[in-house]
Each structure stands twice: as C-alpha cells, then as structure tokens.
Amino acid sequence: MPAPVQKPRTLYDKIWDDHVVDVQDDDLALIYIDRHMVHEVTSPQAFEGLRVSGRSVRRPDCTLVTVDHNVPTFSRKEFTDIGSFVTEPNSRAQCQALEENVKQFGLPYFGMKDRRQGIVHVIGPEQGFTLPGITCVCGDSHTSTHGAFGSLAFGIGTSELEHVLATQTLLQKKSKNMRINVEGTLNEGVTSKDVILHIIGVIGTAGGTGCIVEYAGSVIRGFSMEARMSMCNMSIEGGARAGMVAPDEITFNYLRNRPLAPKGELWDRAEAYWRTLKSDEGAKFDVEVNLRGEDIFPTVTWGTSPQDVVAITGNVPNPAAVADAAKRANMERALSYMGLVPGTPMQDIKVDKVFIGSCTNSRIEDLRSAARIVLAAGPDAKVAPGVDALIVPGSGLIKRHAEAEGLDLIFKRAGFDWREAGCSMCIGINPDKLAPGERCASTSNRNFEGRQGAGGRTHLVSPAMAAAAAMTGKLTDVRKFLGGDVTTKNPLKPTSEYDFFTDPVEPAPEPEPLTKTESASSKPLPPTETPSSVAKFVVLKGIAAPLHLENVDTDMIIPGRFLKTLKRTGLADNLFYALRRDRETTEFNDEMVLNREPWKHAKILVCTGRNFGCGSSREHAPWSLKDFGILSIIAPSYGDIFKSNTMQNGMLPVTLSEAECRDLAEDAEAGLEIEVDLEKREIRRPNGKPPIPFTVDEFRRHCLLNGLDDIALTLQKVGAIGQFEQRRSETWPWLDGFGYKGQKIPVAPVKKTTKMEW
Ligand SMILES: CC(C)[C@H](C(=O)O)[C@@H](O)C(=O)O
Ligand code: SF4
C-alpha cells in the first residue's frame, strides 16, 4: 500500500504537530512547552499557587528567570542587594519575591549581579535558550519576539504560567495561519521597525487576532536576526499572539556557539531538523497579506495606538475627514491626549525625551544604527538642548558588547545617558518615566495613553529615527543624516566575535526545603486528585454597563504601574484608571459610566467595539474587572490572551456580532438587568426581546460550570506527559536543558575581550 500522502503544512502546523501531547474531543490540545521564561511582574501569584497546592516546578532545566520590568537602570557599581538598591517598595517586593521563589523552586536565574541579566526577550535568544522549532512561553505578550527563530512563542497569563510551571504543558486551541509577505527592496532609512509599524498600520491592531503570523518574502529573508526579532516582537501589536520567520543560515549563524545552543553532534542533528522547518509549497494560509518594500518609508506613530502610523514626511491626520463617528471620536481623543493639531507636519513636532531601548530595539544592531546617526550628525554634535536622551541596552552582555565597540563613547560624548539593562521607560514601572505632558520619541512598542508614565506622550520610531530626533529635538526624517555612504564616513567597526562564554552556565540550584520535611521539587506531583475548585459560572444576572470603544487594550483596563502587586485582588479602584479619573485631581469623574448609578454595580460589561483586551498579557486586567464585580464581558471580539485569562478566573467572555452588542448596549444604557446563562448558552433581557444565543468552547464551558481547575485536570495526564518527554529526549535531545537529570553542559574556555580601537 502506498504511504498516505501528507498534505502540505505551514511552519506553524509542523511545530504544533510536533508538540501535541494529547488531543481532546473539542479541538483542544495539550501541547508540550520546551522553554519557559519568567520575570518578576507576572509570576508571584503563580508561585504562590504552586506553594498553596504543594506542587513543584516540573522542568527547572527548561525554565529561565530574570528580573527586568522593575529594576532601576542607573549604575550598579554600589549594588549589594535588591533590598537596598530597589527603593520603591512595591517594585522591591516583586523583585524580592522572585528571588525567594527562584531559591525555593530551584530555578536558573540571571539576577542583578549577573551581567547576563536583561529583558527577558533579549536574554533568551542571546543565550541560545531560544531555538528553532520549540514552543516557548512567558507571562509576557512580547514573547512573540522569540518566533524570529522559527519557534512557536507566545505570551500567557499568570494562571497559564502556573500551569506551565506545574505541568510543562498548556491547553491550547490551534490558531489560524496567516502569512505576511514583504517583497521587493526597502527605501533608504527603512528598518525592520518601520516595516512592522507599516504592517500594523495596514492590518490594524486586530488584524492578526486568532492567528499565528509567518513573515515571509525577500525583505524578511534579507533581515538579520536582530531585525527579525524586532518584527516578531510587535506581532502582538498587530493582534497576533505569535509571529514567526522560518529558520535559515542567518538563524543558524546567530545561534552557533551560543552558551545554551546544542554543540557538536547534537548541533548537527538539530540543524538537520531545523532545516525541515519551513512552510511547504502549497500549504494553506487562512489569511495572506502582500506588501511591497518600496511602499514603506521611515514611519512614526501620531496617536495612542500602534496602528496610528504615518510616514515621517506626512502630517497629523484630521479626524474631520473620517466618516465613521466612533473612529472619529477615538481619533479626537487620541489627538487631544497627544496634544496635537490636525495638519501639523510630523517633522515640526518637538520632543522632550528620547528613549532607545525595550525588547523591540535594544540589541547590538539597534545601538549601532543609532550610533551611526549620532556620528553622521558631526564630530561635535550634541543632543538638542532641552532633550533628555536615554540609551538602555537590552542586557548586560549587550552593554558590554557595545562598550567593546566604543558605542558608549559615541553616545556619551553627544550627551546621551548610557544605562544598565532593563525595561526602563518602555512601561514606566521603574524610575524611568515621562512626566505628564512630556513627549518622547521611543523605540519601544506601545504608545498607549500613560504607557511611559501617566500623561506621557509616545511616538514609536526606529532606533535611527530616535537618534535623529535626539540630535534635532524634533521628530526627524532619518534620511537627512544618511547622505553618502555612512559606513565609510563613520568608522564603526562591529565585532561579531564577541565573547559570550566568560560566565559559566551552571545547572539550576537545588530547591530550598519548603518545610523541614518536604521540598518543593521532591514532593511527588499530586496524583489523579479531585480537581480543585475555582469559582463556578452558571447564570449571571445583573446590571450591564455599556462601553463604546474599539481596541480597548489591557493598559487601558489597568495601567502598568498597578501591576506591582503580589496579589490578585484589591485592583477595583484602578480599573480603567485613565477613563474613570480626572486627569488633574485623579478623583473619580462623573463621565465614565462605571462611576455612575446604577452601573457602579455592574456585573456585566457590554462593549460595542472590536478587540476588547488587546495588548499586554497582564492577568491584572481580568482581576481588576472581577474585583470591581464584573464577571462577564460581551463584545464582538477579544485579544487572544485576555480571553483565556478571563476564563482562568471563572469569568465568561461572550462573543456576539457587532449588531447584537449594539442592541444589548441599548438595554445596558437603560439600566436594565440582563442575564447571561452559560448552561443554556443564551443572554436574556427583561423587556420582552428574544434571548440571544451564543457559542462557547465545550471544554471551557464544562470547566466554568463545574468550577474546575485546569492544572489538576492536566495532572491527570501526567503519564502521557512523561511519555512525550521520553520521546522528546530521544528525538530532540538538545531540548533537555542544562542540569537535566544531573547533566552539566561544558563551559567553554575563557577568551579575552579587548576594547576596540577605532
Ligand atoms: C508585564 C507584562 C504583563 C506586560 C506584557 O504582557 O506585555 C509588559 O511586559 C508590557 O509590555 O506591557
Ligand atoms: S514591552 Fe517593554 S515592558 Fe514589556 S517586556 Fe518589552 S521592554 Fe519590558
């Protein structure tokens, strides 16, 4: 009999197929997670969950922990410990909790004394922890960055994080396949950051919802790994949970010799497998977008959403030209927040601050490209008067690498502030933030209201454009600095031979005993125990509050500065902070519906705009809604991570058509109580209108109706997980991490790094 012909598969299909541990009737699959990265903001509640239920971390060897969001980026010369160095109490508490958890659960950790510390999405690739063909997760939406290596990498919430720690698996439904092709040649001054901003401008922040995006085409193939990471990083801003690029020579060259990448014969086996990781000819994509490199120009955002983009040569758009009333209102709000007048040339907009950093653009190439512009401005050129310009390398190693190339001197000579690694001014939950009304050209990824500090105004740009803005004091077309051959004019000498091996890679430490008699990792996993309970959701009757906004992001639901908590509760007052509070006095206002009777008591939120809960993976968003009393949201569509986060908390997101949402919003405006019945899958109104039916995943419905905990259910499949791990060790042995079953990876000999003379 001829062998069955397998139909052509996409890169995503292949990685998915290779990770399925178990499939349930309703399309949900338990998939194995190869790499788990952890930081201090989204993990404390998950570790607490493990502690309470007496569970251990299943694969410390596949877990890597660092501290990045809260850390101050000023000099660490005087650093002794977190307790004295991180002075803001909530930030300190999160960093200290992480260090305690690392010890207690025995996890590999790059702390603040370790020069490999840095932004979680920078250090994984840098160490070779991120590899092609893997599944990779982190309690952070920009995990999409790691897809640049041809891996399936996506952000998860805190409950899912706990699930991965305990089981090394996740319950997932397969997403749709989307491909974005960028063919042709890029214009002068256009970088991968401009390409991804342009893409988001075209597809919108909901464009990739429900999809995994593969970036393809000659432009992408020509990009370095750094450039691919910047693109995949912002997949989440385009609504997609993950973005990926098929691995190729550029990927292999980047990874070869990285500390945690396979070596010798294992490398050869791995590379042979990695070469199979590309979409087959004829593979089916549910959505395909084709763009031309020639149509992309140096790009900048004007508004408060990453889709609000314009070429730097353009003007601030005019809301009056927009027919749709809701869109016009959104634009007016954005322009008022940004303090911009329609028609103003973008290049006339003055900036107060420039930030070069974040998981999008803080890698060595980003720093080089910014340095080139500074050099092109002239030997004595300085940062424009009145502008504060900050350069924050993504990791301690990048900082050293840049210093070895002398980039720090270029920056410092021109008046830039040269910092230590961390998330810094990307999110403003550490000392680096914008003051109210300050305007910043930023290489980060989110320009939401208040993102870089309450009242701060963000324009997203590439590192070269940020450097140009620093030198002129205004948003500036980078091409002004690019006349002639910049590389010969500017004597930058990149060092590809940077030595990553001077620090030994140690296996994870032994877990500390939880009590005198039981340790976190030696305690056996609970067997087929009765599923523990989370709150049940059966029928919910109550006041519904109407909300007429599109693309409500989780930064809007709860701003970053309120994430610095170790608890899941106490967040109600900060729900929709910017909408509910007066900008000046911060008192609750009367305009926002949730501040008024009877909606103050709302149990249901009816949102008429699409893409509710997009952006960051913070589970604090559903926690704050729940804390306020809202247990069900009704909207036309959701950000993928937010949707699963709500269901992990006994809340029900109902998806209805836009017309149905508008209809229900009328009832909500009238202050009527409505009833969400999960048992019958329908929404009932008291005014004689017919019930509205809805659909919901069967497994999720079952869990919600019975108040079941995913982790306990998954642990019933521990046998299948163990079998998968055995096959994984045989087929992909390089995926067992350092320290697995007592193995150690050899430490390469120490090489000397010399400061470059140029
Ligand atoms: C803290 C974390 C939940 C968040 C994210 O998921 O993206 C943060 O990194 C951000 O950039 O907003
Ligand atoms: S987006 Fe910003 S805050 Fe989030 S991980 Fe990246 S650098 Fe950190």
The three-state DSSP-derived secondary structure of 456-495 is CEEEECCHHHHHHHHHHCECCCHHHHCCCCHHHHCCCCCC
Q: Quick one: pLDDT at residue 147?
A: 98
Of residues 433, 437, 417, 527, the one with CA closest to residue 74: 417
Distance CA 375, CA 470 (A): 12
Does residue 205 line the site of ligand 1, with CB under 6 A? no
Q: pLDDT band for 211, please (50, 70, 90 cuts).
A: very high
Task: Give me the mean pLDDT over the 300-329 stretch.
Answer: 96
Distance CA 320, CA 373 (A): 37
From ligand 1's centre to the CA of 168, what distance in Å?
Answer: 22
Q: Which is higher by pLDDT, 287 or 709?
A: 287
Q: pLDDT digit string (tens) for 104-150?
A: 999 999 999 998 999 999 999 999 999 999 999 999 999 999 999 99
- Tell me the CATH number of domain 299-314+329-481, given options 3.40.50.720, 3.30.499.10, 2.60.15.10, 3.40.605.10: 3.30.499.10
Q: pLDDT band for 5, please (50, 70, 90 cuts).
A: confident
Does residue 620 line the site of ligand 1, with CB under 6 A? no
Distance CA 13, CA 279 (A): 8
Residues 6+ apart with CB under 8 A from 284: 8, 10, 177
Residues 6+ apart with CB under 8 A from 270: 131, 132, 262, 732, 734
pLDDT > 90 in the chain, percent: 86
Helix or strand holding residue 99 (H, E) = helix 89-105
- Pocket probe mutation, ligand 2, options 138, 142, 232, 360, max atoms within 8 Å of Cβ: 142
- CA nearest ligand 2 atom 2, residue: 426
Residues 6+ apart with CB under 8 A from 700: 647
Does residue 42 line the site of ligand 2, with CB under 6 A? no
Q: pLDDT digit string (tens) for 643-660?
A: 999 999 999 999 999 999
**Is 397 in contact with 115 (CB distance < 8 Å)?**
yes
Q: Quick one: pLDDT at residue 341?
A: 98
Q: For ligand 1, what atom is nearest to the CA of residue 617?
A: 6
Residue ranges in 572-709 assigned as alpha helix (H): 577-580, 620-628, 640-647, 658-669, 698-706
Does residue 42 line the site of ligand 1, with CB under 6 A? yes
Q: Quick one: pLDDT at residue 532?
A: 54
The CATH classification number of 11-88+99-295 equals 3.30.499.10
Q: pLDDT band for 503, please (50, 70, 90 cuts).
A: low
Domain with CATH 3.30.499.10 in the chain: 11-88+99-295, 299-314+329-481
Distance CA 652, CA 681 (A): 11
Q: Quick one: pLDDT at residue 737?
A: 84
Does residue 424 line the site of ligand 1, with CB under 6 A? no
Q: For ligand 1, what atom is nearest to the CA of residue 426?
A: 11
Distance CA 111, CA 95 (A): 9
Q: Quick one: pLDDT at residue 17?
A: 97
**Is 122 in contact with 258 (CB distance < 8 Å)?**
no
Three-state SS at 167: helix
Distance CA 334, CA 252 (A): 43
Q: pLDDT band for 535, please (50, 70, 90 cuts).
A: confident
Q: For ligand 2, what atom is nearest to the CA of residue 68?
A: 8
Three-state SS at 581: strand
Residues 6+ apart with CB under 8 A from 714: 30, 163, 166, 167, 169, 171, 721
Task: Retrieve residue 274's tokens.
Answer: 């990695």
Q: Quick one: pLDDT at residue 525?
A: 34
First to last CA, the chain: 68
Q: Quick one: pLDDT at residue 164?
A: 98
Residue 702 has pLDDT above 50, yes or no: yes
pTM: 0.93
Q: Quick one: pLDDT at residue 519?
A: 38
Q: pLDDT digit string (tens) for 60-94?
A: 999 999 999 999 999 999 999 999 999 999 999 99
Q: pLDDT digit string (tens) for 161-206?
A: 999 999 999 999 999 999 999 999 999 999 999 999 999 999 999 9
Kind of pairing, strands 242-244 and 692-693? unpaired
Ligand closest to Cα of 422 equals 2
Does residue 142 line the site of ligand 2, with CB under 6 A? yes
- Pocket probe mutation, ligand 1, options 427, 460, 558, 644, max atoms within 8 Å of Cβ: 427
Q: Quick one: pLDDT at residue 745?
A: 45
Q: Quick one: pLDDT at residue 636?
A: 97
Cα distances from 115 to residues 249, 393, 394, 680, 749, in angstroms, run 28, 12, 11, 56, 18
Domain with CATH 3.20.19.10 in the chain: 539-706
Task: Retrieve residue 535's tokens.
Answer: 């709150």
Residue 42 has pLDDT above 70, yes or no: yes
Distance CA 464, CA 467 (A): 5
Cα 670 to chain centroid distance, Å, stands at 38
Distance CA 550, CA 738 (A): 45
**Is 631 in contact with 704 (CB distance < 8 Å)?**
no
Cα 83 to chain centroid distance, Å, stands at 28
Task: Give me the mean pLDDT over the 543-558 stretch.
Answer: 96
**What angle is formed at CA 544 by the lines to CA 663 and CA 572, rounded to 5 degrees?**
140
Rounded to 5 degrees, what are φ and ψ at 563? -85, -5
Task: Give me the mean pLDDT over the 344-353 stretch.
Answer: 98
Q: pLDDT band for 289, please (50, 70, 90 cuts).
A: very high
Q: For ligand 1, what atom is nearest to the CA of residue 451?
A: 12
Task: Give me the mean pLDDT over the 251-258 stretch.
Answer: 95
From ligand 2's centre to the CA of 426, what distance in Å?
Answer: 6
From ligand 2's centre to the CA of 232, what distance in Å?
Answer: 14
Tell me the DSSP string of 133-158: T-EEEESSGGGGGGGGGS-EEEE--H
**What angle is formed at CA 33 by the lines to CA 29 and CA 35, rounded to 5 degrees?**
160
Does residue 167 line the site of ligand 2, with CB under 6 A? no
Q: pLDDT digit string (tens) for 582-621?
A: 988 999 999 999 999 999 999 999 999 999 999 999 999 9
Does residue 160 line the site of ligand 2, with CB under 6 A? no
Rounded to 5 degrees, what are φ and ψ at 749? -60, 150
Q: Quick one: pLDDT at residue 484?
A: 53
- Tell me the CATH number of domain 539-706, given options 3.20.19.10, 3.50.50.60, 3.40.50.80, 3.40.718.10: 3.20.19.10
Residue 632 has pLDDT above 80, yes or no: yes
Q: Quick one: pLDDT at residue 748?
A: 38
Does residue 43 line the site of ligand 1, with CB under 6 A? no
From ligand 1's centre to the CA of 436, what distance in Å?
Answer: 21
Ligand closest to Cα of 137 equals 1
